[in-house]
Structure 1
Amino acid sequence: MTSTVQTTGKPTTTPPPQQKIVIAKRPAQAAKAGVVIELRANFIPVTKFEFPTVHYYSFDITDHKKKKAGRKDSDKVFAEMKLKKKFGVNNLPVYDGGQVYSFTELPIGHSTSTRSHEVTIPVDSDGSGRAKHFKVEMKYQGTINLRDIGEYIKIGSKKPWDGSIQNNLTVLNAYTNFKVRSRHLSVGKKAIFPTATDSQPTYLPGGIEMKQGFYQSIRPGWNQLVINVDICATTFYPEGPLIDVVPKILKHPRDKHEKTRDELRRGLEKREIDALNWYLKGSMVCVTHRGDNRKPKYKVSFLTSEPADIAKFKQDNRDITVSQYFKEQYGKPLQYGRLPCVVVIKPQDRSKSFFPLEFCELTTGQKYEDKPLSDDARRDMVQKTAVKPADRFQRILSGINGVFNHQKDENLRSIGMHVEPKFIQLKGRVLAPPNLITTGGNITPDGGRWDLKKFTECAGLHNWAVVVFENKNFAPMENVKIAIKQLRSSLIEKGMNVSTEPLIEYGNPQGGFDKTLAIVAEKARIYRERPAQLIICIIQKKVQGSSGIHAIIKRICGTQLGVISQCIVASNMKGPTPNRWKQICGNLALKINGKLGGKNCALAERELNFGTNRPYMVFGADVFHPGREEKGRPSVAAVCASMDKTVTKYIGRYSMNREIKNETIENLEGMAVELLQQFKKRNNILPFQIVFYRDGVAEGQFEHVLDKEVKAMKRAFARVYEAHQRPQLTFVIVQKRHHARFMPVQPIDADRSGNCKPGTVVDTAVVVPQEFDFYLQSHASPLGTARPTHYHVLVNEANFPADAMQILTYKLCHLSVRCNLAISHVTPVHYAHHIANQAKHFVIWDGGNKSSGSGGRGGGGCSKYTDATCERIKTDIENSMYFV
């Protein structure tokens, strides 16, 4: 844990926990390491702006039931009021779905009284929906001075990021995006999806439509504002008649043809009806049977299990089929009477309405977001959205000139903003790749990858078992033995001592996993007279979600048996070529050696520069937050930390957040204490310096993280260290969810895919002068455009110079045991992500069945999960790298 390279500057003393912690400033000495290259960024400059003061107003919209209007209706209300000149004849207010902003005062007045309006939204142009009546209440709130952000972006500014900067950006983004949002289908406040006139809709497996569009966001830059413009894609329900959509939903990815209309007339199997029911539940449809150009909209509750020819309901004290009803009532015999019906349950009286599929149309612009995509759909979407840098930048340029037209935007002109429609060019630097040490000697990555003949430190495997959760017809014993023989050969080839053949057993792929795994673990223990080190499970398919076999196996092996597991999808053993399985075995060997305590490779001596000759430690942290399809599930936080001087061996801890929607790590102090104690146990000393990489925090949360998580680390230090021996802390935020992209201006500076070369750093032009942040593209991206990771140093008690911080971060991207590649972000964050993703399946909670309307939040309406628990990994393996 030593390094002979010293950073400049004197170490700072650790402030007491109660002292306010200030965000670190960019070091005075600019970074210079690496080869300088010219880059093009997907940012365009704001070349003229006086940072005026803007008035803002609340804009509350309710329907006749005093229910708050949704976003789409709110946008329509604002548009209707603007059309009717309710804001004045010459005023140009903008609306972002929350508040109204205007450079000139609107005829509302400064009093505390509220100005009310009655607004009617007409029926949609296609006749769908109904006319709606709303009440609007507007109230003057005050002014927002945009000079705050003007001061923030100046060179030499001392103004910190605070609430005023966030408010300024909210206003500016409202002005930047209002016009295009009002003209095109939009998602959120910054993404739009113009109608494609020259192409057919793009469908993913499962009948989901993928739309491609544009994203833009105004950002603080180096002494100027910049607008980040990118292409984006998301998923929607396709619009149009359900009869045309049903074949796309039911088509299997391997099917060559969709069902025809004649085939639909024959009816559907139960599994097909179940698939349709799952897909359509919760979607919005309009019905077309009335014949008077009215198409009322309804939310689908479910589909009938019986076809319209058989499904019955009560009418005038008699049972009547849906087919009979539509023939008698509307004179429309059903052409698809053997198909199920859409059922709509009216919330006011819980009555049911039945609509044949042939009279239903999916409405326009419905985001497909409450259901997870299948593996096939995800794979297809990745392939369809993988765009080379040159093509991506050309598409963005066409959007800037053909869609956004900033120079013709009257809203931007109203606040005096001029935007130059050309990409910013800036200077980046390509850092040299580090030297890696292996058994065969030192190697240097080429293009972010390297070949590893033998492991640097090999684990021994003396007792292992294989459980086949697959039908014997698809995975016969002879084939399994051949596949495992190749795996054993690959492990030995890499240097591992695999002294025994594994025990091989079959299990029921449909259930009983806990019992099967327990029996196999016990058999292996008896057979070798020692506990099993590893159980390899051959499964049918790696299904995402808590019900997937992969997740179940990880939970059972980790929290019940205390044995390391590795899952293999059975179909991978029957690859298209014999070499395919051999290649997979090589990748499995990397993970297995790491799980069992080995070391695949490491940075060569003197490569690690922590600026101290004393012990150091690297942390990584991430929080899993449930998506819409897992609404109500508690968030799970994970922290891992290095345990050796080569920063290659890590252990991890995880915990469930008790507070609902809490973005911070609640039990960081406790987990940090355990990790520090383990470090001391292994090294007989505590680290003098700690570098902590925290994933998934937005700029608006920086102050909160400083106040909660940095102080939690300080409290952990106070519990473990003597008062005069507290360590230096460097706390770095890792941001991957952004839209910044870079491309070399000269092709000679690009890699074979046209991307920046691994090691490319950007820390000027599109970042703020005083903040200690930088973009680093550490990986290669052969398929699409590489996304750099944005690192932001919040605390720098070790006084890391800019060069030292950037180089250290880049080198830490080369240490994942999962691959022989430089990954897109630092290894400890990579590991923390995997720990959190596994640990989310260790949470036991009610899933929404016990609490009334609280979505699984114990105690119904409380702010905490009161009856949820999180199973802990067994002590047998909790200090291993079981998570890789």
Structure 2
Amino acid sequence: GGRGIGSGFYQAIVFGEHGPTLNINNIYRYFYQNYNLIEFLSCYLNYDIRKYGIPPKDHPLLVQNILMFLWFVISLSNKICQYRLKSFGCPASEHKYTINGSKQITAVDYFRDKLNIRLCNPHLPVVEVYNPNDENQSYFLPIELVNVDKGQTNLQSLTTAQHAKIEKKTVVSPEERYKMIRHIDNEREFNQDLYLKEFGITVNADEMIMLPARILPRPKIKYKSSHDDLDGNVIERVQIGKWCLNNRFDKTYEIRTWAVVFVSPHEPNDHQIGLTRKIAQKIPEAMLKYGIRFNPSSIEKFIAAEEEKILVHTIELRKRKCEIIFYILHQAGYCIYYMIKCFEYWKKLGIVIRCIDFKHLESNNTSSKMNQYVRNLFGIFNTTADGVNQFVSSIQSLTSPLVQRDIFMFFGIVCTNRTCSRERPPIVTIIGSKDSTGTKYADRVQFSPQEKIPLEFINDLHIYVRELLCEFSNYNSYLPNKLILYRAGVDDGSFEKILDNELPAIRRACQELYGHNPLPKICFIVVKNDHNTCFFTFDEQSNQANNVQPGTVIDTDIVLRNGFDFYLNSHTTIPGTSQPTFYQVLYDDIGFTSDDIQQLTYYLCHTDVRCTNVIHVPAPIHCPGDGRRVALELSQVIVLSEYDPMLNMNNIFGCFY
């Protein structure tokens, strides 16, 4: 709780030159409100189910996706009893109860005649609920009589609007944070604390510690010139953690055949047809600026939101050698969305597929917003088609001439749970660069439904690393001789276990692939964001505190004197106070200097092809966010077996970029 400086629980002690730093976990938790199930599903589906209903084909997916994990209470009596939801039934106006042995009566009539309750939404389905203490006994109740029990942890990702509200409530500016710290210090009187005296601990409360810091030089972001008469590279300057995209992507391809498909359960009206054709017209115009040439004439289709029809039309478009398909979804339902996502991420049909929410088109309907929206779409498409957006020479950040001639490959390894719930399985993502520039990546995602707690180390890591090394070799026709691994999602007490298990697995993969050739040297770095260490500058003349600049690195005083640890604030902090990423180098036989590894890490924060700003962690760690999202989405698709019974959901393998 609290605003940034909140109460939490003890997490770890980080030792530094001037003493230990106590790290307190003050992560905020989100809870569901005590909504009626109708209101809850309307919020979840982002439309009023009273008006539009719930498509029957979405019923099982809603249960599997979220409802089966929640507790519900019934609003019929004052007796508190929690229930689980098992399934949906038919509408309340059609569902029948059997009374007096043989007489049947609809749910609407039953609640009106027997309980004097008039149902307001008889067209909505009843739900089957049960008490876990007696799973053999279930009850079919109208949906409007079922409420979500209060105090349950949120299991779904927050929307952009919800994140914005939370930030507005919780962020603390540097100036405010400084005043709050001084206020707490004066109130607590630490040096009078009997417990601290008993342990021989003294607190210097005169002033906050002043740390020396450096600002790393910014890399050069290279694009192709937007002028036809110039064929050279153009440098975009990084200013305050971002740069403008005024030129062409570094390497592009021509798209000859592409399609825009509008999917809706209803016949499209003139507004929907017009907006669909508008984006079909805007795409070639907007992309020509960045060097991506589209055939001005696209294939347009307006089809019903039915799985079989979508599958048939997609296969037809494939036969027509369609390279890109945009699916514009309007109230299509979750089954349709996840089925198309299955095609997109598994690349089953050999074409690039993208889902667009029709609401996003409506909210970006102005000319300037539409251009930006289209550009964001195609940052990822260009790299998917084996193109390169921008070029950042990460190797040039290294000072040693010998190291600059080496062939580097970058890995990112992330192990995380979807939520703090034990009911959701962990997701493990391993990503590897396909070249030494760090602009193209392949990934492997391990999804283990049998595991209900976080994995301490990754099973079969040597297999995934070997496959990614093969991807690198196939793309470049040679293997790397230097491997740099960024590892996220590691607890403070698991460093030794990680090194004992994962480092030998990586070496094993190299031995299997390199044979009698020299094995690559390895640098293993742990990346930590789950700390509450914040930094700000303080101007004594103006008596004001401000955020640190992008590229600020701190590697003294609050880190170990003989260690290889550092804090790096690579990005621009707009709301709140700068919270840098903490890097701990656990193993290095490459022989990096501290300056080299800091500069290289900072350069890699500029290589995310999806945006034109510096990110808070290196791209090999940031990019697996897509892989985890794919696993989370595909793990909930219950219609996959209808299209490919051979799919194994325990391990999801994908390649993006």
Question: Structure 1-normalised TM-score?
Answer: 0.58
Measure the CA separation in 2 of the matches of 1:777 and 1:711: 31
- Whether the aligned pair in 1 keeps the contact of 2:70 and 2:148 (CA below 8 Å) is no
Counterpart residue number, 1:522: 319
Residues 285 and 687 (structure 1), Cα distance of their counterparts in 2 relative to 1, 3 Å cut:
same
Measure the CA separation in 2 of the matches of 1:538 and 1:817: 24
- Whether the aligned pair in 1 keeps the contact of 2:70 and 2:152 (CA below 8 Å) is no
Q: Give the residue type in structure 1 aligned to 2:357.
A: V
1:35-114 map, 5 Å: none
Structure 1 residue 499 displacement after superposition = 4.6
Counterpart residue number, 1:26: none
Which among 591, 599, 602 is matched to residue 388 of structure 2? 599
1:679-698 map, 5 Å: 679-698=472-491
Structure 1 residue 556 displacement after superposition = 5.0
Q: Does residue 562 of structure 1 match 2:355?
A: no
Q: Does residue 428 of structure 1 match 2:217?
A: no
Structure 1 residue 227 displacement after superposition = 2.9
Counterpart residue number, 2:15: 221
Q: Give the residue type in structure 1 aligned to 2:81.
A: Y
User: Secondary structure in 1 aligned to 2:397?
Assistant: coil
Counterpart residue number, 1:650: 441
Structure 1 residue 815 displacement after superposition = 0.9
| Alignment: residue pair count | 618
User: Secondary structure in 2 aligned to 1:582?
Assistant: helix
Measure the CA separation in 1 of the matches of 2:341 and 2:279: 21
Measure the CA separation in 1 of the matches of 2:324 and 2:506: 34
1:285-300 map, 5 Å: 297-300=80-83
User: Secondary structure in 2 aligned to 1:573?
Assistant: helix
Q: Give the residue type in structure 2 aligned to 1:815.
A: T
Structure 1 residue 819 displacement after superposition = 0.9
Counterpart residue number, 2:293: 497
Measure the CA separation in 2 of the matches of 1:728 and 1:486: 48
Which among 590, 601, 609 is matched to residue 398 of structure 2? 609
- Whether the aligned pair in 1 keeps the contact of 2:408 and 2:483 (CA below 8 Å) is yes
Measure the CA separation in 2 of the matches of 1:568 and 1:683: 34
- Whether the aligned pair in 2 keeps the contact of 1:618 and 1:647 (CA below 8 Å) is yes
Q: Does residue 345 of structure 1 match 2:134?
A: no
Residues 756 and 355 (structure 1), Cα distance of their counterparts in 2 relative to 1, 3 Å cut:
same
Q: Give the residue type in structure 1 aligned to 2:281.
A: K
Structure 1 residue 823 displacement after superposition = 1.0
Residues 717 and 231 (structure 1), Cα distance of their counterparts in 2 relative to 1, 3 Å cut:
closer
- Whether the aligned pair in 1 keeps the contact of 2:38 and 2:144 (CA below 8 Å) is no
Structure 1 residue 387 displacement after superposition = 1.7
Spell out, residue by residue over 1:184-213, the C-alpha distance to the aligned partner (whole angstroms, 9 max, x if none).
xxxxxxxxx48x9xxxxxxxxxxxxxx995
User: Secondary structure in 2 aligned to 1:693?
Assistant: strand
Measure the CA separation in 2 of the matches of 1:571 and 1:230: 37
Counterpart residue number, 2:595: 803
Counterpart residue number, 1:42: none
Measure the CA separation in 2 of the matches of 1:408 and 1:780: 39
Structure 1 residue 869 displacement after superposition = 4.7
Residues 566-575 or 470-479, more deviating: 470-479
- Whether the aligned pair in 2 keeps the contact of 1:538 and 1:568 (CA below 8 Å) is yes
User: Once superposed, what is the RMSD of the aligned Cα atoms?
Assistant: 5.3
Measure the CA separation in 2 of the matches of 1:626 and 1:253: 18
User: Secondary structure in 1 aligned to 2:240?
Assistant: coil
Spell out, residue by residue over 1:100-146, the C-alpha distance to the aligned partner (whole angstroms, 9 max, x if none).
xxxxxxxxxxxxxxxxxxxxxxxxxxxxxxxxxxxxxxxxxxxxxxx
Which among 487, 491, 494 is matched to residue 283 of structure 2? 487
Q: Give the residue type in structure 1 aligned to 2:359.
A: S
User: Secondary structure in 2 aligned to 1:561?
Assistant: coil
Structure 1 residue 845 displacement after superposition = 9.3
How many percent identity over aligned positions?
A: 21
1:798-877 map, 5 Å: 798-841=590-633, 868-870=649-651, 872-873=653-654
Spell out, residue by residue over 1:340-361, the C-alpha distance to the aligned partner (whole angstroms, 9 max, x if none).
9997737169667999999999
Residues 350 and 420 (structure 1), Cα distance of their counterparts in 2 relative to 1, 3 Å cut:
farther
Q: Give the residue type in structure 2 aligned to 1:481.
A: R
Measure the CA separation in 1 of the matches of 2:52 and 2:295: 52
Structure 1 residue 730 displacement after superposition = 0.6
Residues 268 and 313 (structure 1), Cα distance of their counterparts in 2 relative to 1, 3 Å cut:
farther
Residues 475 and 808 (structure 1), Cα distance of their counterparts in 2 relative to 1, 3 Å cut:
farther
Q: Does residue 631 of structure 1 match 2:414?
A: no
Counterpart residue number, 2:257: 464
Measure the CA separation in 2 of the matches of 1:647 and 1:323: 62
Q: Give the residue type in structure 1 aligned to 2:282.
A: Q
Measure the CA separation in 2 of the matches of 1:414 and 1:358: 60
- Whether the aligned pair in 1 keeps the contact of 2:523 and 2:590 (CA below 8 Å) is yes
Structure 1 residue 495 displacement after superposition = 1.6
Measure the CA separation in 1 of the matches of 2:186 and 2:54: 46
1:93-172 map, 5 Å: none
Spell out, residue by residue over 1:377-406, the C-alpha distance to the aligned partner (whole angstroms, 9 max, x if none).
644544444624237626964995699897
Q: Give the residue type in structure 2 aligned to 1:347.
A: N
Which among 205, 210, 224 is matched to residue 439 of structure 1? 224
Q: Give the residue type in structure 1 aligned to 2:283.
A: L
Structure 1 residue 446 displacement after superposition = 0.2
- Whether the aligned pair in 1 keeps the contact of 2:394 and 2:604 (CA below 8 Å) is no
1:64-463 map, 5 Å: 193=1, 214-215=7-8, 217=10, 218-222=12-16, 223-228=18-23, 232-238=27-33, 249=40, 282-283=70-71, 297-301=80-84, 345=131, 347=133, 366-369=151-154, 371-373=155-157, 375=159, 378-385=162-169, 387-390=171-174, 393=177, 397=181, 400=184, 423-440=208-225, 441-463=234-256
Measure the CA separation in 2 of the matches of 1:507 and 1:566: 16
Measure the CA separation in 2 of the matches of 1:395 and 1:726: 54
Q: Which has the larger radius of gyration?
A: 1
Structure 1 residue 372 displacement after superposition = 1.7
Counterpart residue number, 2:230: none
Structure 1 residue 709 displacement after superposition = 1.5
Structure 1 residue 434 displacement after superposition = 1.4
Which among 536, 539, 553 is matched to residue 326 of structure 2? 536
Gaps of 5+ in 2: 226-233, 642-646
Spell out, residue by residue over 1:540-569, the C-alpha distance to the aligned partner (whole angstroms, 9 max, x if none).
3799xx857167335356342122223333
- Whether the aligned pair in 1 keeps the contact of 2:224 and 2:248 (CA below 8 Å) is yes
Structure 1 residue 656 displacement after superposition = 4.5
Q: Give the residue type in structure 1 aligned to 2:15.
A: G
- Whether the aligned pair in 1 keeps the contact of 2:448 and 2:650 (CA below 8 Å) is no
Q: Give the residue type in structure 2 aligned to 1:651.
A: A
- Whether the aligned pair in 2 keeps the contact of 1:230 and 1:396 (CA below 8 Å) is no
Q: Give the residue type in structure 2 aligned to 1:587.
A: N
Measure the CA separation in 2 of the matches of 1:833 and 1:238: 28
Residues 728 and 867 (structure 1), Cα distance of their counterparts in 2 relative to 1, 3 Å cut:
closer
Residues 588 and 360 (structure 1), Cα distance of their counterparts in 2 relative to 1, 3 Å cut:
closer
Q: Give the residue type in structure 2 aligned to 1:561.
A: L
- Whether the aligned pair in 1 keeps the contact of 2:13 and 2:20 (CA below 8 Å) is yes
Measure the CA separation in 2 of the matches of 1:706 and 1:457: 38
Counterpart residue number, 1:134: none
User: Secondary structure in 1 aligned to 2:8?
Assistant: strand
Structure 1 residue 428 displacement after superposition = 2.7
Gaps of 5+ in 1: 1-192, 197-210, 259-266, 291-295, 327-332, 526-531, 850-865
- Whether the aligned pair in 1 keeps the contact of 2:72 and 2:85 (CA below 8 Å) is no
Structure 1 residue 740 displacement after superposition = 2.4
Structure 1 residue 714 displacement after superposition = 0.6
Counterpart residue number, 1:743: 536
Residues 534 and 784 (structure 1), Cα distance of their counterparts in 2 relative to 1, 3 Å cut:
farther
Measure the CA separation in 2 of the matches of 1:647 and 1:346: 51
Structure 1 residue 817 displacement after superposition = 1.0
Counterpart residue number, 2:371: 582
